[in-house]
Amino acid sequence: MTGEDLRKARQQKGWTQVQAAQKLGMTQAYLSMLERGQRGLSNSVLRRALQKLSVAPTALPLPEEPSALSSSDAVRNELGALGYPGFSYLHRKPNRNPAEVLFSALNEPDLDTRVAEGLPWLTFTYAEMDWEWLVRHAKVHDRQNRLGFTVTLAHQLAAQANDVKRAATLQAHVPALKHSLLAREDTFCHDSMTETERKWLRQNRPPAAQQWNLLTDLMLEHLAHV
């Protein structure tokens, strides 16, 4: 997020610099310097802007190295905070950039099925996330097949919703992921499945899963909260 983004968010609220400064707990002079790019936007300012100015969570800072979420419960909490209808009852505030949440979730060996089903929604909803950061880390950790599959389902969601802009944004990232497609078989965050399950999925997985060399039966019609 830049100072210009901060200025636009303030103006969309219809607030003067004085009013916004009071909401954000700073002086008008300091806010003016932030908007002009004369001061850097700290994490604390970004989080206050997220809450007070309705700035998108994609403005939250991304770490050099993403931290693990470690469990389905942790991913569930982050999805709920980002507005996923299936977990909206959690009533949490966004704490992480959607790109970090998505990568950290895809990097988990095992996720609860209901949680994994929320990842295409996350990708669709925040299609304007930082893809350079996301794809880079997916490749470093060999998760590009999982990401490609998620993007494919998100693209299907966009097509179903006749959302041409989101569909184009998502489709633009598919070629780079296909170019780095891994030949090694993977799962969609369900590494603990039995060999019997694996054999069945090799014969019965949907085309998108086969395309991305994943063992999963997840399809668009299984996404209950979209």
Q: What is the pLDDT of residue 119?
A: 97
φ and ψ at residue 202, rounded to 5 degrees: -60, -30
- How far apart CA 11 and CA 104 sit, in angstroms, is 34
- How far apart CA 82 and CA 99 sit, in angstroms, is 11
Helix (H, G, I), strand (E, B) or coil at 190: strand
- How far apart CA 59 and CA 51 sit, in angstroms, is 12
pLDDT tens digits, one per residue of 146-159: 999 999 999 999 99
Q: Over 80: is that where the pLDDT of 55 sits? A: no
Q: Over 80: is that where the pLDDT of 35 sits? A: yes
The residue with greater pLDDT, 41 or 74, is: 74
Tokens representing residue 25 in the block: 């707990």
Taking residues 157-166, report their average pLDDT. 95
Q: State pTM to two decimals.
A: 0.83
Q: What is the pLDDT of residue 93?
A: 78
Instruction: Give the other-Cβ count within 10 Å of 204's Cβ.
Output: 10
Helix axes 144-160, 118-125, angle to 10 degrees: 70
> For the domain bounded by 3-55, which CATH number is listed?
1.10.260.40
Average pLDDT in the chain: 91
The angle at the Cα of 192, spanning 188 to 193, to the nearest 5 degrees, equals 75
Reference 34, options 61, 62, 7, 14; nearest CA is 7
Give the length of the chain. 226
Q: What are the extents of the domains in the chain?
A: 3-55, 72-222
